[in-house]
Chain A
Amino acid sequence: MAPLTAASDEKTHQALLDKLDIYAISKSFRNPHWKPPQRRNKNVKQILAEVSRKEASVMATQNNSGASTPVLPHSEALTGGASTPVGNHQPPNIAQAARNLSTLVLEKNTRAAMGASPANGGPAATYTNIESAPSFHPNSQRRYCDITGLPAPYTDPKTRLRYHNKEIFGVIRTMPQNTTESYLAARGAHTVLK
């Protein structure tokens, strides 16, 4: 335990910690019988994998059993999109849906299977499909020097680094390989070995 400032000594610091500590404070608003579920900390990747697995299995069962399958409790078909402020006759957002094509296809299948009206807009917004698609704008092809960030008309064929002028090129050529790799990594263009 390191006292933060020169002004505080061991004793005052401990007193400060006692004051700040909320472990000792009684938290009567908490349910004393509350037991958090095991392994509830999941990262985004795990959660997304679970979601897509669940979706796939739900869709599969619906495809098999057709209209006789009870409607999903939270599917769009139930609310009919009435309370959902999703598009009023908007064309489907293809760029977004392309990010998660399976969702689009599956949703279309469900709708077809359940005879929902095609007037309903595109796929519902999910965490994955609202992600912005890759750029198609020519501006995204602009090149900047990896070292200085200035406009870079040249590329070094050996290291694949972009550079602004010959002085920077001289620097690039004297760089060890791990440095050039980390410069590439800053631009996301590094080689990833899998």
Chain B
Amino acid sequence: MAPSAISEVPPPSGRNSPKPEPAKIWSVSDPPFEGFKPIDTEGHACSNRDTAIVIDNGSSNVRAGWSFDSKPRISLPPLMARYRDRRIARTFTFVGSDIYSDGTARGQAKNVYEPGSNIINNWDCMEGVLDYCFIKLGVDGRNGGIDRPIVMTEPVANLGYTRKTMSEILFECYGAPSVAYGIDSLFSYSYNGGRNGLVVSSSYSSTHIIPVIESKALLSQATRLNWGRSQSAEYLLKLLRLKYPAFPGKISDTQAEDLVRDHCYVSRDYENELSHYLEWTGLEDRDHTIQFPYTEQVVVQKTEEELAIAAEKRKESGRRLQAQAAKMRLEKLKRKEEEYEYYVQLQAQLANTTKKEGKRILESNDFDDESQLEKRVRELEKSIKKARNKDVGDVEEEQQEEPTFPLLDVPDDQLDEESLKQKRQQKLLKSNYEARQRAKAEKEKEKARQAEEQRLDDERRENDFENWVEERRIARQAIIQKMRDRERLKAELGNRKSLANQMRMKSIANLASDNPTKKRRRGGGDDDTFGADDADWGVYRTIATGEQSDDEEEEDLNRELKNIEAQLLKHDPNFTEESTREAQTDWTKSLLHAFLHGPYPFDPESQKQAHQLHLNVERIRVPEVVFQPTIAGLDQAGIVEIAAGILTERLAESPYRNDILKDIFLTGGNTLFQGFEERLQDELRAVLPAELELGVRRAKDRVLDAWRGAAKWAGKAESKKAFVTRAEFMEKGGDYLKEHELGNASL
């Protein structure tokens, strides 16, 4: 266990410091295939026609052995898989833990019992399990049957149909000479020497409470609670699925059972322990981390050398490109220079020739008149100069001379066609230029305005601090509210039926439809005014979902919030590091985080952590159901209430009551939880009169004593008369039962 004293002192920010890595990480294992079990002929050889085969037909495990054994020889889960492999045209039957040896077998496995109850409803499987027991016990069937009496356990108040079918199988299929049935918990009680007491038996599929007087069970007062270990495992599984809806691994039923067995315990004071369960102090001891198998995503880490090589390569190719570009530029420059020289020559030539000749020359060079040539020459000159500058590297400050627009002031009628054209051009240029100037001025103004605002703000802060702070706080609250709204909207969009999503669908449909939504009865036909108002385009923002849509906005909000918080931090003495949103939403303070991930930071990227389960509250919540069945939606009284009812009301006048009180007896696999005994003792003490003596004890072996008791009972001479013989079965039918102290009453 990790030392819990390290983080007792919270750091000044009020955040809890994260705990170091969990000291112990539990893992889960697949149900074990126990390996091949050899046939045990030794027991059969020792047996004779009077020694019974004892079968504890439990819903978690079927245990079988001989009545002279000290413990069952075989124990197997009541599972069978029978399937036909078409490839090799062969039928396979696997029973018990053998089904775990093969994938197909595991998939085909069926349980003998109806899930969540103690009633057998798959008799083919039952036969398979019995076959397996008899084979492994070395029954040779020399006389065409098992030829040994059978003692079998059954649930309290077993259904007639179930017993009848079982008897049919035992007598008709296996040819048993005689059969006796008894109740497992009573066998366990008698094995542990009980005489007057209250048997509390919580097993795999149900919990029974049976008062026993003078070694006889008061079955009319027996009570069943439909909750056992299998229901606990199912409940834990349900809770875990809700707790980690996106859990990538698969938790199998047997793994859930393991989790219940290994991590759960009965809390001695549930209310009190529960309310402190997720508190930061000592959480690392209460929180159990379960690691499921995972494959780490391999991120290829490049070495420094490789990185350097790659960078060098990139640089190299960049240089090559640069060189190429420079070469091309040079060529272009050369061409331009040649062109320039040619045109200059042309100009000189023009000056010397006649007008007509000049016109011809101009036309042959694609010029309309001399001014165009001039323009061309100017352009070339400029671009050459520019290119040279670039190559040489010194950027000459381009002299910004105010452009002049001389033609604009000349009235139109004084101009010829050519000049009119030019005038239009100048007009355009002028408006362009003016727009630029205006924008510049605006920018400057804005800057000045901001500076002024800042100044005013500072002034206001100094003069009217309280209002200033108030305003900031309101602004901050508004941003937080906005962020929350956005989160909620996002969550609602996840739900197909939510109002937000329906609105979104509606606007998409509106946008997609050709005809406008609202048809005006009167007036102009097509008056689609979409876009007349800029806000109309906002509709595209609302229908866009996914990551790219609100990332920007969110960042904006975050920045704004940070900004305001920084101001508040700087100036407001009441606003401390602790009150920032970041600190308030810090995971170490989150109850939910403690619930989901314990006292450790969570990195959603890590595959390892994504495959971890944290058991904390569940550790006491799951076993608690036996005491408070309503928390799992079971509308029954808990064991304490049942026991108290039996002890204080139904048996209130019984002369044996005080003896019963002294011997509250626990048996069954579901009572193995640590603290079960103490809790029952505490709670019963609270409801019983103070002067009465109360004793709670448990079976020496809460799992195997039922079988041992049955074996011991089977060996007793006086039990012989409780066996139903084959002849009696033939005469009186399948549900004929002889009553005895440890068995059910016949109806």
Could you tell me which A residues sit within 8 Å of B by CB distance?
A: 1-2, 4, 13, 16-17, 19-23, 25, 27-31, 34, 36-37, 40-44, 47-48, 50-51, 73-76, 79, 83-87, 90-91, 93, 95-96, 121-127, 129-137, 139-140, 142, 144, 147-151, 164-165, 167-168, 171, 173-177, 179, 182-183, 185-189
| Given A41-B121, A83-B739, A90-B650, A140-B491 contact (CB < 8 Å) | no
Residues in chain B near residue A85, CB distance under 8 A? 216-219, 739, 741, 745
Q: Which residue of B lies closest to A40 (CB)?
A: B123
Residues in chain B near residue A20, CB distance under 8 A? 36, 94, 98, 101
A89 CA to B519 CA, complexed, in Å: 86
A47 CA to B163 CA, complexed, in Å: 12
Residues in chain A near residue B95, CB distance under 8 A? 22
Apart from A140-B630, A168-B591, A187-B631: 6 A-B pairs, beta carbons within 8 A: A20-B98, A22-B93, A34-B173, A131-B636, A149-B239, A164-B591
**In the complex the two chains form, is A79's CB within 8 Å of B746's CB?**
yes
**In the complex the two chains form, is A31's CB within 8 Å of B219's CB?**
no
A127 CA to B165 CA, complexed, in Å: 16
Residues in chain B near residue A22, CB distance under 8 A? 93-95, 128, 131-132, 135
- Which 8 pairs of residues, A with B, have the shortest CB-CB distance? A188-B633, A29-B141, A28-B141, A2-B103, A85-B216, A23-B93, A174-B491, A135-B637
B634 within 8 A of A: yes
Q: Which residue of A lies closest to B644 (CB)?
A: A137
B117 within 8 A of A: yes
Among the stretches B58-66, B153-161, B333-341, B708-716, the one at the interface with A is B153-161
A183 CA to B218 CA, complexed, in Å: 40
Residues in chain B near residue A76, CB distance under 8 A? 747
State which of B274, B497, B746 has its C-beta within 8 Å of the C-beta of A150: B274
Q: Which residue of A lies closest to B156 (CB)?
A: A130
| Given A150-B617, A187-B631, A132-B637 contact (CB < 8 Å) | yes
Taking the closest CB of chain B, its distance from the CB of A158, in whole angstroms, is: 12
**In the complex the two chains form, is B114's CB within 8 Å of A43's CB?**
yes
Could you tell me which B residues sit within 8 Å of A by CB distance?
A: 33, 36, 82, 85, 91-95, 98, 100-104, 114, 117, 119, 121-124, 127-128, 131-132, 134-135, 139-142, 144-147, 155-162, 165, 168-169, 172-175, 208, 216-226, 235, 238-239, 242, 245, 271, 274-275, 277-278, 487-488, 491-492, 494-495, 497-498, 590-592, 595, 617-618, 621, 628-638, 641-642, 645, 650-651, 654, 732, 735-736, 739, 741, 744-747
For A16, A23, A50, A51, the residue with the greatest tally of chain B CB atoms inside 10 Å of its CB is: A23
**In the complex the two chains form, is A167's CB within 8 Å of B590's CB?**
yes
**In the complex the two chains form, is A127's CB within 8 Å of B635's CB?**
no
Secondary structure dominating the interface of B = mixed
State which of B275, B497, B632, B732 has its C-beta within 8 Å of the C-beta of A186: B632
| Given A27-B135, A29-B146, A140-B628, A130-B173 contact (CB < 8 Å) | no
**In the complex the two chains form, is B161's CB within 8 Å of A51's CB?**
yes
Give how many A-B residue pairs fall within 8 Å (CB-CB). 269
State which of B161, B220, B224 has its C-beta within 8 Å of the C-beta of A122: B220
State which of B141, B223, B592 has its C-beta within 8 Å of the C-beta of A132: B223
A129 CA to B117 CA, complexed, in Å: 15
Q: Which residue of B lies closest to A27 (CB)?
A: B131
Taking the closest CB of chain A, its distance from the CB of B218, in whole angstroms, is: 6
Residues in chain A near residue B119, CB distance under 8 A? 43-44, 47, 127
| Given A4-B33, A47-B162, A121-B220, A135-B104 contact (CB < 8 Å) | no
**In the complex the two chains form, is B642's CB within 8 Å of A132's CB?**
yes
**In the complex the two chains form, is B617's CB within 8 Å of A86's CB?**
no
**In the complex the two chains form, is B134's CB within 8 Å of A29's CB?**
yes
Residues in chain B near residue A50, CB distance under 8 A? 161
Taking the closest CB of chain B, its distance from the CB of A112, in whole angstroms, is: 19
| Given A74-B735, A127-B159, A149-B618, A96-B592 contact (CB < 8 Å) | no
**In the complex the two chains form, is A127's CB within 8 Å of B158's CB?**
yes
Q: Which residue of A lies closest to B638 (CB)?
A: A135
A151 CA to B161 CA, complexed, in Å: 44
Can you pick out 11 interface pairs between chain A and chain B where the beta carbons lie within 8 Å of each other? A22-B135, A41-B121, A75-B747, A85-B739, A96-B223, A121-B220, A125-B744, A140-B628, A148-B595, A165-B591, A186-B239
A27 CA to B208 CA, complexed, in Å: 37
Taking the closest CB of chain B, its distance from the CB of A94, in whole angstroms, is: 9
| Given A13-B102, A86-B219, A187-B633, A47-B161 contact (CB < 8 Å) | yes
| Given A47-B162, A171-B592, A125-B745 contact (CB < 8 Å) | yes
Residues in chain B near residue A95, CB distance under 8 A? 645
Residues in chain B near residue A175, CB distance under 8 A? 491
Taking the closest CB of chain B, its distance from the CB of A145, in whole angstroms, is: 9
A73 CA to B245 CA, complexed, in Å: 56
Residues in chain A near residue B492, CB distance under 8 A? 174
State which of A30, A96, A168 has its C-beta within 8 Å of the C-beta of B174: A30
For B157, B277, B629, the residue with the greatest tally of chain A CB atoms inside 10 Å of its CB is: B157
Residues in chain B near residue A151, CB distance under 8 A? 271, 274-275
Taking the closest CB of chain B, its distance from the CB of A164, in whole angstroms, is: 7
Residues in chain A near residue B741, CB distance under 8 A? 85
A46 CA to B670 CA, complexed, in Å: 28
| Given A43-B121, A140-B637, A4-B141 contact (CB < 8 Å) | no
Q: Which residue of A lies closest to B147 (CB)?
A: A29
A41 CA to B120 CA, complexed, in Å: 8
**In the complex the two chains form, is B641's CB within 8 Å of A135's CB?**
yes
Residues in chain A near residue B123, CB distance under 8 A? 36, 40-41
| Given A41-B123, A134-B635, A86-B630 contact (CB < 8 Å) | no
Residues in chain B near residue A36, CB distance under 8 A? 123-124, 127, 169, 173
Residues in chain B near residue A16, CB distance under 8 A? 36, 101
Q: Which residue of A lies closest to B172 (CB)?
A: A34
Residues in chain A near residue B208, CB distance under 8 A? 130
Residues in chain A near residue B245, CB distance under 8 A? 179
**In the complex the two chains form, is A2's CB within 8 Å of B621's CB?**
no
For B131, B155, B217, the residue with the greatest tally of chain A CB atoms inside 10 Å of its CB is: B131
Residues in chain B near residue A140, CB distance under 8 A? 628, 630, 637-638, 641
A168 CA to B638 CA, complexed, in Å: 28
| Given A23-B93, A31-B172, A167-B592, A1-B632 contact (CB < 8 Å) | no
Q: Which residue of A lies closest to B735 (CB)?
A: A74
For B36, B145, B645, B651, the residue with the greatest tally of chain A CB atoms inside 10 Å of its CB is: B645
**In the complex the two chains form, is B219's CB within 8 Å of A30's CB?**
no
Residues in chain B near residue A137, CB distance under 8 A? 637-638, 641
Residues in chain B near residue A34, CB distance under 8 A? 172-173
Taking the closest CB of chain A, its distance from the CB of B207, in whole angstroms, is: 9
**In the complex the two chains form, is B226's CB within 8 Å of A131's CB?**
yes
Residues in chain A near residue B498, CB distance under 8 A? 176
Q: Which residue of A lies closest to B683 (CB)?
A: A139
Residues in chain A near residue B487, CB distance under 8 A? 174
State which of A4, A23, A91, A132 has its C-beta within 8 Å of the C-beta of B103: A4
State which of A4, A96, A187 has its C-beta within 8 Å of the C-beta of B632: A187
**In the complex the two chains form, is A123's CB within 8 Å of B220's CB?**
yes
Residues in chain B near residue A96, CB distance under 8 A? 223
State which of A21, A23, A44, A91 has its C-beta within 8 Å of the C-beta of B117: A44
Q: Which residue of B lies closest to A132 (CB)?
A: B636
Residues in chain A near residue B117, CB distance under 8 A? 44
Residues in chain B near residue A91, CB distance under 8 A? 650
**In the complex the two chains form, is A168's CB within 8 Å of B592's CB?**
yes
A136 CA to B219 CA, complexed, in Å: 23
**In the complex the two chains form, is B121's CB within 8 Å of A42's CB?**
yes
A110 CA to B632 CA, complexed, in Å: 39
A35 CA to B618 CA, complexed, in Å: 48
**In the complex the two chains form, is B224's CB within 8 Å of A124's CB?**
no
| Given A21-B92, A186-B632, A1-B591 contact (CB < 8 Å) | no
A182 CA to B235 CA, complexed, in Å: 12
Q: Which residue of B lies closest to A164 (CB)?
A: B591
A50 CA to B104 CA, complexed, in Å: 36
**In the complex the two chains form, is B145's CB within 8 Å of A186's CB?**
no
**In the complex the two chains form, is A29's CB within 8 Å of B175's CB?**
yes
Residues in chain A near residue B168, CB distance under 8 A? 37
Residues in chain B near residue A122, CB distance under 8 A? 220
